[in-house]
């Protein structure tokens, strides 16, 4: 039985691992970001082409294309996707919870169902997509599978494709030719379904770039003809993802990277690409790359020849003097990466938006956990290294404990701060607290009862009182192991699991922001691309909506008191625009394409 086999391998893993270390990384049982789904009863059929590359920065699919979905849209689980953003199938339901904790077999789990598509006017069509097993998630087992099904004109579902492998490898392209008369009718639909262990966040499949169109020549399926970003834009900072502005200012040369590494993938498209990036603060452009001209022209060879393209010869340079004029305790910069490609290229994946935040905390992580980390030794210690650029007062410590199957909320641990991990080091602070496993993806804040001053390097972590796994969030997309230490009684060692622990010290006197992801995915814009108007859906009233051109020039400003706002864009010319939505304590950016 599947659960017995899973437990068997876990036991073997723990026995073998105990010979060297007691660190344990566990798959998550809950996904706080998959908490919204929709069933669209719109009966109208779509026309060809049908294209979705899931490059939108939202955790839910585009319901202009899909009738029903329980999948997770993300940029953090895949490895080398064809384009940025994928959909992930797992063992969780549409709310990010295990479907059946007692299940011991592989059962149907997630479904992604297309809207009706009119194929009555073509004699032959094709469906193309890419898929990958596991990625940075959990590997499917031999009885797990991913299915593609077509609905025929008798309204019966037929399985037309089943995944052939479950091992981790590069994304595989699948092509299904549709030329049977029973599928060529005006209400054709297709759906993906996975079979998985439905007792948790297990058995991951990732799907990217779903495209359906009329089949006219062999090149239709051999050439995807698209160039895209691969991953989110990295932080500008050498060491941290985020840090307080007061520790960054006047230390820019030490804290900033000399260049940023942006990866592109060419999927059978022309090799001539233009690239630029811009930095904005409160809508005002403060930096543009390249320093001379609008964009930098590069040759990006096809992925199948050389792999992902990296800007390393020459690198993308970044100058620190742009920050000298800002005097504030807290700042946020919008970073915009843009590639200019062939006119037939998919434009939704040609722009990356990233917020470089300077708030009240130091952070090595990006705010999203892919796994949970723990140590199964009573008395074990965990220590995370941080460095101050000036003396400061520690006010609080934030930790993210993802919701797991077995809660340890009632098991205390000793929150500990050290000044040094050598034999001459001292414990500066220790307080018995309890892990707080959240269901909403937010960090939990442990306030220091008597805030105290720190200087230079210090370490934050814990001392365990039991051998239970406390299950701290582990971000697998950012590697900080040179600052991560654990001690099971024989001295301090660097953590052997690649990633970043989700622990953040807070030192600023600014209002505490509990998570960089607190306000993400709370705003929706549809339809996109836009003809003449679109709707903005929020979860709060009272919004300020700013519309910027791709050059960062403010085009419109709207004040709204409604949860659903209609934007009339008829007076704007065709192109790409950035929508900035300001609410009480949040700021979010969305990109739209105006036809």
Q: Please give the Cα distance from 87 to 74 (Å, whole number).
A: 6
CATH number at 371-506: 2.60.120
Q: What percent of the chain has pLDDT over 70?
A: 90
Q: In this model, does residue 508 exceed pLDDT 70?
A: no
Q: Please give the Cα distance from 579 to 526 (Å, whole number).
A: 12
pLDDT of residue 103: 84
pLDDT of residue 90: 95
CATH number at 522-595: 2.60.40.3080
pLDDT of residue 8: 32
Burial of 354 (0-12, 13-18, 19+ CB in 10 A): buried
- Whole-Å CA distances, 175 to 119, 215, 399, 463, 549: 17, 11, 45, 53, 38
Are the C-beta atoms of 33 and 88 separated by less than 8 Å?
Answer: no
Q: Which residues does 250 contact at the CB level (< 8 Å), separation at least 6?
A: 389
Which CATH homologous superfamily contains domain 33-222? Galactose-binding domain-like (2.60.120.260)
Query: Phi and psi for 355 in degrees, rounded to 5?
Result: -100, 115
Query: Residues 232-242: what's their mean pLDDT?
Result: 93
Q: Which two tokens stand for residue 165?
A: 């492998």
pLDDT tens track for 164-219: 778 899 999 999 999 999 999 999 999 999 999 998 889 999 999 999 999 998 88
Query: Phi and psi for 265 in degrees, rounded to 5?
Result: -130, 130
Are the C-beta atoms of 534 and 418 separated by less than 8 Å?
Answer: no
Per-residue confidence band for 298, with pLDDT thresholds at 50, 70 and 90 = very high
Helices (H), 107-204: none
- Whole-Å CA distances, 89 to 37, 111, 127, 298, 463: 14, 8, 19, 36, 37
Per-residue confidence band for 1, with pLDDT thresholds at 50, 70 and 90 = very low
Name which of 348, 353, 336 is nearest 276 in CA terms. Answer: 336
pLDDT of residue 14: 37
pLDDT tens track for 57-74: 788 898 889 999 999 999
Q: Please give the Cα distance from 443 to 359 (Å, whole number).
A: 15
pLDDT of residue 16: 35
Burial of 379 (0-12, 13-18, 19+ CB in 10 A): middle
pLDDT higher for 329 or 83? 83
Q: Do domains 33-222 and 371-506 have the same CATH topology?
A: yes
Ranked by mean pLDDT, which of 134-148, 310-324, 430-444, 563-577 comes out on top? 134-148
pLDDT tens track for 526-567: 888 888 888 888 877 778 888 877 666 778 888 887 778 888
Other beta carbons within 10 angstroms of residue 298's beta carbon come to: 16
Q: In this model, does residue 485 exceed pLDDT 70?
A: yes
pLDDT of residue 212: 96
> Do β-strands 263-267 and 226-229 pair in parallel, antiparallel, or remain unpaired?
antiparallel
Other beta carbons within 10 angstroms of residue 396's beta carbon come to: 16
Q: Which two tokens stand for residue 350?
A: 């040609």
Are the C-beta atoms of 369 and 520 separated by less than 8 Å?
Answer: no
Are the C-beta atoms of 470 and 462 separated by less than 8 Å?
Answer: yes
- Whole-Å CA distances, 315 to 49, 105, 260, 349: 37, 50, 7, 22
| C-alpha torsion angle, residues 464, 244, 396, 502 (rounded to 10) | -30
Q: Which two tokens stand for residue 589?
A: 């950016």
Residue 24 DSSP code: E
Q: Which of 214-223, 258-267, 274-283, 437-446 has the lowest mean pLDDT?
A: 437-446
Q: Which of 141-155, 223-237, 438-452 has the lowest mean pLDDT?
A: 438-452
Q: Which two tokens stand for residue 269?
A: 């498209």
Q: Please give the Cα distance from 438 to 20 (Å, whole number).
A: 31
pLDDT of residue 563: 79
pLDDT of residue 273: 94
CA 296-300-301 angle, 5° bins: 160
Q: Which two tokens stand for residue 477?
A: 């997309």
- Would you give the end-to-end CA distance of the chain in angstroms? 54
- Max distance between CA atoms of the chain, in angstroms, equals 79
Specify which residues 432 forms β-bridges with.
414
Q: Which of 121-130, 244-253, 378-387, 577-586 has the lowest mean pLDDT?
A: 577-586
Are the C-beta atoms of 109 and 92 separated by less than 8 Å?
Answer: yes
Are the C-beta atoms of 588 and 523 separated by less than 8 Å?
Answer: yes
Could you tell me the residue ranges of all domains in the chain?
A: 33-222, 229-358, 371-506, 522-595
Are the C-beta atoms of 549 and 564 separated by less than 8 Å?
Answer: no
Q: Which of 18-27, 86-95, 417-426, 472-481 has the lowest mean pLDDT?
A: 18-27
Query: Residues 351-366: what's their mean pLDDT?
Result: 92
pLDDT tens track for 10-61: 333 333 333 345 899 988 888 887 765 556 666 678 999 999 999 987 888 9
- What CATH class has 229-358? mainly beta
pLDDT tens track for 492-507: 999 999 999 999 999 9
Query: Residues 131-146: what's their mean pLDDT?
Result: 94
Handedness of CA 26, 29, 34, 39 (dihedral sign): positive
């Amino acid at each position: 039985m599947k659960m017995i086999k899973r437990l068997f391998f876990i036991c073997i893993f723990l026995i073998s691992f105990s010979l060297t270390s007691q660190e344990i990384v566990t798959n998550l049982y809950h996904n706080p970001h998959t908490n919204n789904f929709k069933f669209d009863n719109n009966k109208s059929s779509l026309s060809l082409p049908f294209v979705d590359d899931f490059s939108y920065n939202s955790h839910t699919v585009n319901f202009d294309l899909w009738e029903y979905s329980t999948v997770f849209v993300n940029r953090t689980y895949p490895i080398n996707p064809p384009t940025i953003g994928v959909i992930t199938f797992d063992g969780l339901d549409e709310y990010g919870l295990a479907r059946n904790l007692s299940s011991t077999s592989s059962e149907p789990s997630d479904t992604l169902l297309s809207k009706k598509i009119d194929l009555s006017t073509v004699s032959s069509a094709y469906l193309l997509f890419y898929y990958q097993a596991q990625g940075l998630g959990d590997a499917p087992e031999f009885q797990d599978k991913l299915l593609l099904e077509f609905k025929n004109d008798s309204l019966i579902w037929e399985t037309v494709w089943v995944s052939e492998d479950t091992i981790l490898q590069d994304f595989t392209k699948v092509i299904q030719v549709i030329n049977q008369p029973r599928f060529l009718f005006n209400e054709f639909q297709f759906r993906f379904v996975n079979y998985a262990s439905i007792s948790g966040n297990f058995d991951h499949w990732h799907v990217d770039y779903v495209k359906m169109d009329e089949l006219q020549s062999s090149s239709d399926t051999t050439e995807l003809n698209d160039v895209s970003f691969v991953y989110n834009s990295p932080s500008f900072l050498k060491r941290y993802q985020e840090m307080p502005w007061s520790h960054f200012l006047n230390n820019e040369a030490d804290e900033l990277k000399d260049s940023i590494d942006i990866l592109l993938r060419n999927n059978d498209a022309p090799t001539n690409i233009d690239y630029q990036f811009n930095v904005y603060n409160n809508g005002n452009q403060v930096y543009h790359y390249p320093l001379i001209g609008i964009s930098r022209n590069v040759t990006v060879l096809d992925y199948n020849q050389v792999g992902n393209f990296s800007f390393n010869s020459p690198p993308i340079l970044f100058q620190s003097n742009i920050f000298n004029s800002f005097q504030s305790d807290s700042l946020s910069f919008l970073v915009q990466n843009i590639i200019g490609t062939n006119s037939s290229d998919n434009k939704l994946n040609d722009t990356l938006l990233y917020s470089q935040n300077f708030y009240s905390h130091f952070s090595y992580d990006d705010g999203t956990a892919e796994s949970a980390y723990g140590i199964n030794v009573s008395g074990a210690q965990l220590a995370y290294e941080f460095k101050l650029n000036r003396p400061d007062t520690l006010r609080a410590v934030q930790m993210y404990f993802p919701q797991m199957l077995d809660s340890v909320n009632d098991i205390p641990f000793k929150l500990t701060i050290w000044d040094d991990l050598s034999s001459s080091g001292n414990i500066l602070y220790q307080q018995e607290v309890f892990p707080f496993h959240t269901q909403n993806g937010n960090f939990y804040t442990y306030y220091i009862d008597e805030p105290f001053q720190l200087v230079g390097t210090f370490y934050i972590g814990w001392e365990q009182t039991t051998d239970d796994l406390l299950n701290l969030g582990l971000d697998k997309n950012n590697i900080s192991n040179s600052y991560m230490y654990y001690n099971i009684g024989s001295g301090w060692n660097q953590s052997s699991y690649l990633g970043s622990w989700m622990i953040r010290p807070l030192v600023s006197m600014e209002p505490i922001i509990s998570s960089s992801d607190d306000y993400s995915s709370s705003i929706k814009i549809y339809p996109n691309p836009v003809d003449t108007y679109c709707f903005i859906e929020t979860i709060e009233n009272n919004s300020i909506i700013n519309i910027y051109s791709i050059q960062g020039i403010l085009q419109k400003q709207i004040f709204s008191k409604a949860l659903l706002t209609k934007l009339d864009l008829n007076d704007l010319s065709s192109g790409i625009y950035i929508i900035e939505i300001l609410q009480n304590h949040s700021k979010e950016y969305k990109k739209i394409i105006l036809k």
